[in-house]
Amino acid sequence: MKQAFAKFSPFQVDPEKVWADYELNYSDFEPATDAEKESVSEVRQSVSYWRDAARRFRKNTVSMVALFVFLAILVFAFLGPLLIPYDYANQYRSSQKLGPFEYSKQEALIKSIEGEVDCMFATALQPGSVTALDPGDYYFKYKGDTYSFSLDAKLADSVIVLKDGDLSIVKQSDISNGQIKKSTPLEYTSEVPDGAKQLKVESKVFPHVVGTDSQGRDILARTMYGARVSIIIGIVAALIVLIIGSIYGAISGLCGGTVDFVMMRIVELIYSVPEVLIVLLLQVVLKDPLQAWFDSSNSWFANALSTLGAGIVSIFITFGLLYWVTLARIVRGQVLMLKKQEFVTAATALGASNGRIIRRHLLPNCVGQLVITTCLQIPAAIFLESFLSFLGLGVSAPMASLGSLCSDALGTLTLYPYRLLFPGAILTIIVLSLNLVGDGLRDALDPRLKK
Amino acid sequence: MAIYIVKRLAAAVATILVIMAITFFLMNTIPGSPFLTEKSTPQQIELANQKYGLDKPLIVQFKNYIVNYAHGDLGVSLKMQEGTPVKKILFGQGKFVLSIKLGVCALLVAICLGIPLGCLAAYKRGTWIDGLLRVLTTVGVAIPTFVLASTLLVAFAVKLNWLPTLSGSLDSWKAYIMPVISLSFYDVCYIAKLTRTSMLDAINQDYIRTAKAKGVKNKWIVLKHALRNSLIPVITFLGPLAAFIITGSFVVETIFSVPGLGKYFIQSVINRDYTIIMATTVVVSVLVIVMNLVVDIAYKIVDPRITLSSTDE
Neighbour count for residue A139 (Cβ, 10 Å):
21
Do residues B99 and B225 both lie within one domain?
Answer: yes
pLDDT at site A21: 67
Q: Does residue B140 contact residue B149 with C-beta atoms inside 8 Å?
A: no
Instruction: Give chain B's domain count.
Output: 2
Q: Which of B268, B22, B283 is nearest to A318 (CA)?
A: B22
Do residues B141 and B11 both lie within one domain?
Answer: no
User: What's the one-letter identity of residue A306?
Assistant: S
Residue B311 within any structural domain of the chain:
no
Do residues B28 and B103 both lie within one domain?
Answer: no
Residue B36 within any structural domain of the chain:
yes
Do residues B197 and B247 both lie within one domain?
Answer: yes
Q: Which of B133, B66, B83 is nearest to B278 (CA)?
A: B66
Closest partner residue to A417 among B141, B154, B288, by Cβ?
A: B154
Domain limit, last residue, from B88, B114, B137: B88
ipTM of the complex: 0.79
Read off the pTM: 0.73
- Chain A CA closest to residue B289: A272
Residue B189 within any structural domain of the chain:
yes
Do residues B153 and B237 both lie within one domain?
Answer: yes
Give the span between the Cα atoms of B89 and B283, in whole angstroms.
13
Which CATH number fits the domain that encloses residue B218? 1.10.3720.10
Quickly state the pLDDT bin for A56 (edges 50, 70, 90).
confident
Domain limit, last residue, from B88, B121, B142: B88
Do residues B40 and B146 both lie within one domain?
Answer: no
Domain annotation for chain A: domains and CATH numbers: 104-198 (no CATH), 219-449 (1.10.3720.10)
The verdict on A273 touching B (C-beta cutoff 8 Å) is yes
Average of per-residue pLDDT across A133-155: 50
Average of per-residue pLDDT across B45-74: 75
Helix (H, G, I), strand (E, B) or coil at B161: coil
Mean pLDDT of chain B: 78
Window 185-214 of B, Cβ < 8 Å to A: 197, 200-201, 204
pLDDT at site A72: 92
Quick one: how far is CA B123 from the chain centroid?
30
Residue B134 within any structural domain of the chain:
yes
Average of per-residue pLDDT across B32-46: 68
Residue B173 within any structural domain of the chain:
yes
Do residues B52 and B188 both lie within one domain?
Answer: no
Residue B301 within any structural domain of the chain:
no
Compare B193 and A112 and report the one with higher pLDDT: B193
Residue B221 within any structural domain of the chain:
yes
Residues B205-243 have pLDDT tens digits of 888 888 888 888 888 887 778 887 788 778 877 777 776
Do residues B136 and B248 both lie within one domain?
Answer: yes
Do residues B62 and B169 both lie within one domain?
Answer: no
**Cβ-based contacts of B280 with chain A (< 8 Å):** 277
- Structural domain range at position B236: 95-259
Do residues B28 and B155 both lie within one domain?
Answer: no
pLDDT at site A284: 77
Residue B287 within any structural domain of the chain:
no
Q: Quick check: B154 and A413 CB within 8 A?
A: yes
Do residues B128 and B238 both lie within one domain?
Answer: yes
Q: Which of A23, A24, A27, A2 is nearest to A13 (CA)?
A: A2
Do residues B178 and B254 both lie within one domain?
Answer: yes
